[in-house]
């Protein structure tokens, strides 16, 4: 006989099981119901949590989109205005394409300027000073007090350019792949290429801090060169001459109306790197008392402006080496 048939035969002969007391049956039924509520409650909680997570995700996406729209409406930070330019000047696009500048009058943080052959641009820096950019230069404007010189040559004058006599600006930093350049109230030229960083100081003091060099210093009349891991070199370097000629071509216009001839001469000397020397007390007196009027020569370079202005004064001048020698002219001898 098979096992199942044997079990069935035994159950037929067994007496019926007694029914549980009604109180016990009620307790069991309540316990089962409570367990059922617990299980189904967890399922509902999980469903609620899932629905809440989905809703939170949707809200987060909406918030991100809203913030993105807000950011796009923020005005870019203007760091400089364009005072003078010549040749081909370009703005670098998002896809590294070049867009030639036509009506651009200001530069904002985040923009990259690229200059072509025989090109140059003079900027009036927002925090004070004048920044000049030479040909074949690529420079990124990062903030109101810093730029990244990727390659090429730039010049910074910490003196504001709107007037001849002005206070000194500060807080400007030039970053390059070889290190950063900081100044203390100065005029200096910075050149960067794949091999080296060169800083030439016309006035004041600069410090270079990089991967292989810490606080290397160059003073007025010196040129500092940093190249890879080699020790920095410092040599004497003239503050005037051919190496600086391009700077004069991008010099900002000076407001000379109402200024004395002496103030004007000091401005020319600062822009050209030349010293001003009076050959007699009479010449110096005339320069300090003489007053200039009008700004008809705003677009002229400093040397052309010097020739134009001095032709109307009882003063003569000659440039000898690094000096502008000024002499007095007898007013009666002037034709």
Q: Are 328 and 286 in contact (CB under 8 A)?
A: yes
Same structural domain for residues 156 and 221? yes
Same structural domain for residues 68 and 82? no
Report the CATH number that the domain containing residue 317 is assigned in CATH. Answer: 3.55.50.30
- What helix, strand, coil percent values describe the chain, rounded to 5? 30, 35, 35
Q: What is the pLDDT of residue 41?
A: 56
Same structural domain for residues 107 and 234? yes
Same structural domain for residues 281 and 297? yes
Same structural domain for residues 227 and 309? no
In the chain, the DSSP E strands lie at 78-86, 89-92, 98-100, 106-108, 112-115, 120-125, 130-133, 138-143, 146-157, 173-176, 179-192, 197-209, 216-219, 222-226, 233-236, 275-278, 315-320, 323-328
Render each residue's pLDDT in the chain as its tens digit; 335 residues: 455 565 556 555 555 555 555 555 566 566 555 655 555 555 554 555 555 555 545 444 544 444 444 444 567 899 999 999 999 999 998 888 999 988 889 999 999 999 999 999 999 998 788 999 999 999 999 999 999 999 999 999 987 544 444 444 457 899 999 999 998 878 999 999 999 999 999 999 999 998 888 889 999 999 999 998 899 999 999 999 999 999 999 998 888 999 999 999 999 999 999 999 999 999 999 999 999 999 888 889 999 999 999 998 999 999 999 999 999 997 655 55
Same structural domain for residues 208 and 125? yes
Same structural domain for residues 45 and 131? no
Hey, what's the torsion of the CAs at 5, 6, 11, 14, to 10 degrees? Answer: 150
**1 within some domain:** no
Report the CATH number that the domain containing residue 100 is assigned in CATH. Answer: 2.60.120.1440
**195 within some domain:** yes
Of 211, 245, 279, the residue that ends a domain is: 245
Least Cα distance to 270 among 163, 191, 157 occurs for 157
Question: 3-state class of 163 per DSSP?
Answer: strand
Same structural domain for residues 168 and 235? yes
Least Cα distance to 269 among 289, 254, 279 occurs for 254
Same structural domain for residues 85 and 228? yes
**84 within some domain:** yes
Question: 3-state class of 49 per DSSP?
Answer: helix
Of 52, 72, 92, the residue that ends a domain is: 72
Please state, in angstroms and rounded to a whole number, the distance separating the CA atoms of residues 141 and 160: 19
Q: What is the pLDDT of residue 281?
A: 96
Same structural domain for residues 117 and 206? yes
Q: Which range marks the domain in which residue 87 is found? A: 78-245
**11 within some domain:** no
Report the Cα–Cα distance between both ends of the chain, in Å, rounded: 150
Q: What is the pLDDT of residue 334?
A: 52
Query: 228 vs 6, 208, 225, CA distance in Å?
Result: 97, 13, 10
Query: 118 vs 113, 195, 217, 299, CA distance in Å?
Result: 15, 23, 31, 18
**9 within some domain:** no
Question: 3-state class of 322 per DSSP?
Answer: coil
Same structural domain for residues 83 and 170? yes
**237 within some domain:** yes
Question: 3-state class of 215 per DSSP?
Answer: coil
**91 within some domain:** yes
Same structural domain for residues 179 and 297? no
Of 227, 245, 263, the residue that ends a domain is: 245
**5 within some domain:** no
Structurally, the chain folds into a number of domains equal to: 3
Q: Hey, what are 181's tokens?
A: 């350049």
Q: What is the pLDDT of residue 232?
A: 93
Q: Are 134 and 154 in contact (CB under 8 A)?
A: yes
Please state, in angstroms and rounded to a whole number, the distance separating the CA atoms of residues 105 and 201: 29
């Amino acid at each position: 006989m098979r096992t199942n048939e044997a079990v069935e035969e035994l159950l037929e002969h067994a007496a019926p099981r007694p029914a549980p007391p009604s109180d016990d049956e009620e307790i069991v039924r309540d316990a089962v119901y409570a367990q059922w509520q617990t299980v189904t409650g967890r399922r509902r909680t999980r469903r609620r949590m899932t629905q809440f997570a989905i809703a939170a995700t949707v809200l987060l996406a909406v918030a991100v989109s809203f913030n993105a729209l807000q950011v796009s409406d923020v005005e870019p930070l203007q760091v400089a205005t364009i005072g003078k330019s010549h040749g081909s000047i370009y703005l670098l696009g998002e896809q590294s394409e070049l867009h030639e500048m036509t009506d651009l009058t200001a530069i904002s943080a985040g923009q990259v300027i690229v200059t072509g052959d025989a090109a140059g641009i003079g900027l009036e820096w927002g925090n004070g000073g004048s920044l000049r950019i030479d040909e074949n230069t690529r420079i990124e404007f990062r903030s109101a007090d810093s730029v990244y010189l990727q390659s090429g040559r730039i010049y910074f004058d910490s003196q504001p350019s709107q007037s001849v006599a002005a206070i000194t600006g500060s807080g400007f930093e030039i970053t390059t792949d070889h290190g950063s350049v900081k100044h203390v109230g100065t005029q200096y030229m910075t050149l960067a290429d794949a091999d080296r960083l060169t800083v030439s100081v016309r006035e004041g003091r600069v410090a270079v801090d990089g991967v292989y060099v810490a606080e290397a210093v160059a003073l007025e009349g010196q040129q500092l060169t940093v190249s890879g891991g080699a020790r920095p070199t410092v040599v004497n370097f003239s503050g005037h001459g051919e190496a600086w000629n391009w700077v004069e071509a991008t010099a900002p216009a000076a407001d000379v109306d109402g200024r004395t001839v002496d103030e004007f001469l000091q401005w020319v000397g600062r822009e050209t790197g030349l010293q001003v020397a009076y050959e007699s007390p009479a010449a110096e007196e005339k320069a300090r008392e003489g007053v200039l009027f009008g700004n008809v020569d705003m677009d002229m370079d400093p040397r052309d402006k010097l020739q134009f202005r001095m032709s109307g004064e009882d003063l003569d001048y000659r440039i000898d080496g690094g000096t502008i020698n000024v002499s007095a002219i007898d007013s009666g001898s002037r034709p």
